[in-house]
């Protein structure tokens, strides 16, 4: 029961002091960013969520990214709508969109929705800067922060609890 | 540890979820039929407010096939019957459209569709639908009023024909008064005659006493003389009165003749019925049938409109809130029936008829389709009936059209009008029927034409109708060999109105009015003849009684007349009065001998 309530705090600490590499943290953050930007309720958002959970990336970083970019996504909706509209009505891509729509792939993935397409483009555009930033942040901050945090008994205790949970000795 | 290669995929996470997906696929495969069955039953019950039962359902998502066996939808207004039932529904769905979250029926067959079939168990849901209210049909007051007017006319005629007007005739009353007057008069005459006779005897007795003792009775002679004179005058008056009796009979006859004239006038007035209103009669005979059918049709259209509008609103509400869904010029409705063959059995004019046809263009968003929804049916067999229903909800104003044409529609015999009041029975036959109905928005318009030749009408046996009247109605209806009717429809869906133009009402009204007038005249004459006959019998008896009384009284007075004549003879001897010797000689010759 205590594990259930301590889990969010544990995950925050885990993101900072886990043994994941900066690369894993960065990929987790990038996936979280894409999930946050994307409107929910379509197969694309679900697939991204499944990728985050299924791949060996830093999950807490992904969750933080999703939480952060959900708000940003709402602010970017008008821009995303314009980008999506331009792309969906772009004549060279029209036949591809048409066939995707006919085969029912795009409606399920939400790829016929202006905001989904726009946010996807924004997310793709932001992948590299987000990855670079997250990677550098993790590489520079993770080690000193871990040392600093590990001085605290509570963090050690939380880390121990996390390991205990992972090894199946949950109290 | 350094050689151990860590996989990028968290199989510990992926494997159970893959297993879960496989389980879901299995559940979908095996649980699809029960789920769709539940969906059909639940949505059907929500829509109709009555039980929906389905014996079997089979689905094949890959083939896009949906088969329903023995579908029964109960009638919420009559729980012991089905609104409709279908033996088998075989629908071919578009699987690709299903992936687009749309239900598109490409083609299919509906076999064994029947309406209004009796149920073995109640079709009422446990929670009754409070929305279903039994309201009186709107046109009901129109034909009810007409029905009342016609039945009032008939009741009035029946009552008057049944009424015993003899009691109200003056001739029998005058005759009765004369008889009573005669009885009083005869009693008076008889009494006066008897008194006169009595007084004559008393006078004779007094004269006899004077004769026995002339000296003592002489002084009473003047007094007797006066009394004799008085009696003599009364005798003369009585005789004159009796002799005048035949003259009095003439006066009585005149009084009776004038009473008879008044009676004739009275009876003419009583049996002068107003002309039956032909238009009113048309409403009575055809109004109820037309009103019921029209109200049913309007109720159905209103129900269908209510359901279809709610679907559209749901579809609009289902739009995504973020962004816009681009459909690449292919905006399509969530539900669509492209073409479904229909084979159904329905009662038409009292006959079960089989129809085949098709249903097309039914959609939850009609504005997205090029063609309106259509139902076209043609009757199987010898009856050439065709029906086309077009429902166009593509524009802002919804439109419905119904066209039905049949040059020879067989009719089983049925009753026109209210069997409790005024009704006629229409014998079986065939008729030409054309229906053109149009509903634009809420405005109703159209025409129904009905033409039946070689028909037979007969009055419905009703204990309330006078038997003479029933026979007259029979004769009047026998003259009508053709019924044509044209119903003009107007008003709105909520309160439809109609006007029936048909010569049948006027024809019937003329025939019935003429026949009833003749019957009234005959009845009046019969009543008058009956009264006159009774009066004549009474008058004959009265006259005979008068003659008998005259003879009786004159005979009765004859004896006294002799005394009074003898005494009058004495009186005529001189102004001095009667002397005793004269009295003795006179009385000795006549009355004193007795």
Q: Which helix (H) or strand (E) holds B213?
A: none
pLDDT tens column, A56-93: 888 888 988 998 899 999 999 999 999 999 998 888 88
Asked if pLDDT for residue A51 goes beyond 50, the answer is: yes
Residue A100: the pLDDT is: 83
Of residues B6, B96, B322, nearest to A56 (C-beta): B6
Q: Is B316 on the interface with A (CB under 8 A)?
A: no
pLDDT tens column, B166-192: 677 788 788 888 888 888 888 888 888
Residue B103: the pLDDT is: 87
CB contact under 8 A, B322 and A115: yes
Q: What mean pLDDT is predicted for residues A39-43? A: 86
pTM: 0.58
Q: Which residues of A touch B (CB under 8 A)?
A: 39, 41, 50, 53-56, 77, 80-81, 84-85, 88-89, 94, 97-98, 101-104, 107-108, 112-116, 118
CB contact under 8 A, A112 and B328: yes
| CA B419 to chain centroid | 6
**What percentage of chain A carries pLDDT values higher than 70?**
79
ipTM tops the 0.85 cut: no
User: Which residue is closest to B8 within chain A, CA to CA?
Assistant: A56
Q: Is B326 on the interface with A (CB under 8 A)?
A: yes
- Per CB-CB distance under 8 Å, the chain B contacts of A108 are 99
B95/chain A closest Cα distance in angstroms: 10
Q: Is B328 on the interface with A (CB under 8 A)?
A: yes
Task: Answer yes or no: are the C-beta atoms of B127 and B113 closer than 8 Å.
Answer: no
CB contact under 8 A, B7 and A84: no
Q: Which helix (H) or strand (E) holds B71?
A: strand B65-75
- Per CB-CB distance under 8 Å, the chain A contacts of B326 are 85, 88-89, 97, 101, 112-114
CB burial of A1-26 (b: ≥16 within 10 Å; e: otherwise) equals: eeeeebeeebbebbbbbbebbbebbb
Of residues B6, B10, B328, nearest to A54 (C-beta): B10
B332/chain A closest Cα distance in angstroms: 12
Q: Which helix (H) or strand (E) holds B336?
A: strand B335-348
Of residues A39, A88, A107, nearest to B322 (C-beta): A39
- Per CB-CB distance under 8 Å, the chain A contacts of B323 are 39, 77, 80-81, 84, 113-116, 118
| CA–CA dist A159, A60 (Å, integer) | 14
Name the 3-class secondary structure at B169: coil
A49/chain B closest Cα distance in angstroms: 12
User: Nearest Cα to B278, choosing from B153, B158, B159?
Assistant: B153
CB contact under 8 A, B13 and A53: yes
Task: Answer yes or no: are the C-beta atoms of B140 and B291 closer than 8 Å.
Answer: yes
DSSP assignment letter at A58: -
Of residues A50, A56, A115, nearest to B8 (C-beta): A56
Q: Is B1 on the interface with A (CB under 8 A)?
A: no
Q: Is B7 on the interface with A (CB under 8 A)?
A: yes
| CA–CA dist B348, B377 (Å, integer) | 13
A56/chain B closest Cα distance in angstroms: 5
A38/chain B closest Cα distance in angstroms: 10
CB contact under 8 A, A104 and B13: no
A89/chain B closest Cα distance in angstroms: 9
| CA–CA dist B388, B377 (Å, integer) | 6
Instruction: Classify residue B286 as exposed, middle or buried by CB count within 10 Å of its CB (0-12, 13-18, 19+).
Output: buried
CB burial of B227-261 (b: ≥16 within 10 Å; e: otherwise) equals: bbeebbeebeebeebbeebeeebeebeebbeebbe
- Per CB-CB distance under 8 Å, the chain A contacts of B324 are 81, 85, 113-115
Task: Answer yes or no: are the C-beta atoms of B189 and B501 closer than 8 Å.
Answer: no
A2/chain B closest Cα distance in angstroms: 23
Q: B429-440 and B399-411: which strand pairing? A: antiparallel
Residue B461: the pLDDT is: 56
Of residues B523 and A16, which shows the higher confidence score? B523
User: Nearest Cα to B113, choosing from B400, B352, B361?
Assistant: B352
Residue B315: the pLDDT is: 47
Residue B558: the pLDDT is: 73
- Per CB-CB distance under 8 Å, the chain B contacts of A85 are 324, 326
Of residues A54, A56, A114, nearest to B326 (C-beta): A114
A113/chain B closest Cα distance in angstroms: 4
Contacts with B283 (C-beta within 8 Å, 6 or more apart), sequence order: B142, B143, B146, B147, B500, B505
Q: Is B330 on the interface with A (CB under 8 A)?
A: yes
CB contact under 8 A, B323 and A115: yes
Q: Is B10 on the interface with A (CB under 8 A)?
A: yes
- Per CB-CB distance under 8 Å, the chain B contacts of A82 are none
Q: Is B14 on the interface with A (CB under 8 A)?
A: yes
| CA–CA dist B91, B97 (Å, integer) | 14
Asked if pLDDT for residue A23 goes beyond 60, the answer is: yes
| CA A65 to chain centroid | 5
| CA–CA dist A44, A42 (Å, integer) | 5
Residue B263: the pLDDT is: 83
pLDDT (tens, 9 = 90+) of chain B, 594 residues, equals 445 566 777 787 788 888 988 998 888 888 888 888 898 899 888 878 888 998 999 888 778 888 999 999 888 878 888 888 999 999 999 888 887 778 889 999 999 888 888 888 888 876 544 444 444 444 445 455 556 666 677 667 767 776 767 677 788 788 888 888 888 888 888 888 888 878 877 877 887 777 777 777 777 777 877 888 888 788 888 878 877 777 777 788 788 888 888 888 887 777 777 777 777 767 766 776 677 777 777 777 777 777 665 444 444 444 546 788 887 766 778 888 999 999 988 877 667 888 999 999 988 888 888 889 999 999 888 788 899 999 888 888 888 898 988 888 777 666 665 666 556 676 777 778 888 989 898 888 988 888 877 767 776 655 555 666 777 777 777 777 777 888 888 888 888 888 888 887 777 778 777 877 777 788 788 888 887 887 778 778 777 777 777 777 777 777 667 766 666 565 544 445 555 555 555 555 554 444
| Helix-strand-coil split of chain B, %, nearest 5 | 50, 25, 20
- Per CB-CB distance under 8 Å, the chain B contacts of A55 are 8-10
CB contact under 8 A, A114 and B324: yes
Task: Answer yes or no: are the C-beta atoms of B459 and B426 closer than 8 Å.
Answer: no
A-proximal residues of B, 96-155, CB under 8 Å: 96, 99-101
Name the 3-class secondary structure at A15: helix
- Per CB-CB distance under 8 Å, the chain B contacts of A77 are 322-323
User: Nearest Cα to B33, choosing from B62, B58, B2?
Assistant: B58
Contacts with A26 (C-beta within 8 Å, 6 or more apart), sequence order: A61, A130, A131, A132, A134, A135, A138
Q: Which helix (H) or strand (E) holds B309?
A: helix B278-317
User: Which residue is closest to B323 within chain A, CA to CA?
Assistant: A115
A55/chain B closest Cα distance in angstroms: 5
Return mean pLDDT, chain A. 82
Of residues A49 and B463, which shows the higher confidence score? A49
| CA–CA dist B278, B286 (Å, integer) | 12
CB contact under 8 A, A113 and B324: yes
């Amino acid at each position: 029961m205590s594990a259930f309530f301590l889990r969010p705090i544990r995950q925050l600490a885990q993101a900072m002091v886990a043994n994941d590499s900066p690369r894993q943290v960065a990929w987790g953050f990038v996936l979280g960013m894409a999930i946050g930007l994307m409107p929910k309720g379509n197969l694309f958002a679900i697939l991204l969520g499944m990728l985050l959970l299924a791949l060996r990336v830093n999950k807490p970083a992904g969750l933080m990214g999703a939480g952060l970019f959900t708000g940003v996504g709402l602010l970017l909706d008008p821009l995303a709508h314009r980008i999506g509209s331009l792309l969906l009505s772009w004549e060279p891509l029209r036949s591809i969109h048409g066939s995707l729509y006919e085969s029912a792939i795009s409606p399920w993935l939400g790829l016929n929705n202006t905001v989904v397409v726009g946010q996807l483009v924004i997310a793709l555009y932001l992948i590299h800067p987000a990855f670079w930033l997250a990677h550098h942040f993790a590489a520079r901050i993770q080690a000193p922060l871990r040392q600093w945090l590990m001085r605290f008994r509570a963090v050690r205790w939380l880390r121990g609890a996390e390991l205990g949970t992972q090894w199946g000795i949950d109290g | 540890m350094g050689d151990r290669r860590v996989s990028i995929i968290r199989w510990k996470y992926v494997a159970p979820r893959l297993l879960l997906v496989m389980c879901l696929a299995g559940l979908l495969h095996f649980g699809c039929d029960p789920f769709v069955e539940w969906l059909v039953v639940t949505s059907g019950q929500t829509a109709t407010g009555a039980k929906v039962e389905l014996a079997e359902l089979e689905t094949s998502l890959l083939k896009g096939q949906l088969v329903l066996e023995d579908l029964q939808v109960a009638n919420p207004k009559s729980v012991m019957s089905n609104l409709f039932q279908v033996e088998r529904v075989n629908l071919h769905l578009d699987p690709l459209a299903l992936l687009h979250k749309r239900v598109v029926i490409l083609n299919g067959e509906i076999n064994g569709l029947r309406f209004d079939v009796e149920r073995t168990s109640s079709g009422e849901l446990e929670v009754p639908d409070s929305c279903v209210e039994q309201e009186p049909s709107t046109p009901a007051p129109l034909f009810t009023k007409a029905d009342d007017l016609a039945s009032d006319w008939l009741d009035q005629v029946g009552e008057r024909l049944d009424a015993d007007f003899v009691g109200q005739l003056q001739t029998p009353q005058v005759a009765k008064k004369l008889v009573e007057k005669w009885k009083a008069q005869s009693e008076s005459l008889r009494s006066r005659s008897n008194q006169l006779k009595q007084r004559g005897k008393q006078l004779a007795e007094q004269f006899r006493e004077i004769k026995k003792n002339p000296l003592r009775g002489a002084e009473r002679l003047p007094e007797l003389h006066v009394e004799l004179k008085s009696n003599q005058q009364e005798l003369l008056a009585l005789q004159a009165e009796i002799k005048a009796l035949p003259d009095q009979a003439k006066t009585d006859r005149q009084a009776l003749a004038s009473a008879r004239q008044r009676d004739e006038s009275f009876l003419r007035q009583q049996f002068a019925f107003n002309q039956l209103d032909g238009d009113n009669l048309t409403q009575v005979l055809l109004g109820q049938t037309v009103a019921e059918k029209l109200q049913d049709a309007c109720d159905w259209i209103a129900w269908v409109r209510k359901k279809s509008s709610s679907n559209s609103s749901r579809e609009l509400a289902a739009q995504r809130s973020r962004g816009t869904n681009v459909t690449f010029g292919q905006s399509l409705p969530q539900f669509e029936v492209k073409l479904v063959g229909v084979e159904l059995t329905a009662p038409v004019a009292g006959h079960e008829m089989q129809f085949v046809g098709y249903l097309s263009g039914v959609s939850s968003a009609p504005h997205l389709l090029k063609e309106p929804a259509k139902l076209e049916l043609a009757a199987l067999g010898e009856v050439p009936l065709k029906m086309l229903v077009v429902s166009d909800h593509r524009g802002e104003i919804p439109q419905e059209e119904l066209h039905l044409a049949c040059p020879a529609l067989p009719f089983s015999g049925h009753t026109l009008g209210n069997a409790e009041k005024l009704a006629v029975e229409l014998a079986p036959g065939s008729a030409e029927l054309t229906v053109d109905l149009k509903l634009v928005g809420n405005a109703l318009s159209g025409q129904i034409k009905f033409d039946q030749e070689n028909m037979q009408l007969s009055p419905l046996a009703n204990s309330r109708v006078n038997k003479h009247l029933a026979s007259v109605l029979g004769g009047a209806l026998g003259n009508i060999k053709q019924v044509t009717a044209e119903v003009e429809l107007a008003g709105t869906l909520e309160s439809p109105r109609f006007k029936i133009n048909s010569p049948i009402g006027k024809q019937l009204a003329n025939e019935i009015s003429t026949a009833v007038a003749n019957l009234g005249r005959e009845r009046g004459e019969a009543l008058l003849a009956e009264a006159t006959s009774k009066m004549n019998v009474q008058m004959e008896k009265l006259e005979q009684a008068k003659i008998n009384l005259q003879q009786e009284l004159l005979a009765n007075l004859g004896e006294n007349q002799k005394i009074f004549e003898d005494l009058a003879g004495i009186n005529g001897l001189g102004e001095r009065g009667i002397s005793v010797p004269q009295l003795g000689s006179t009385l000795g010759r006549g009355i004193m001998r007795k």
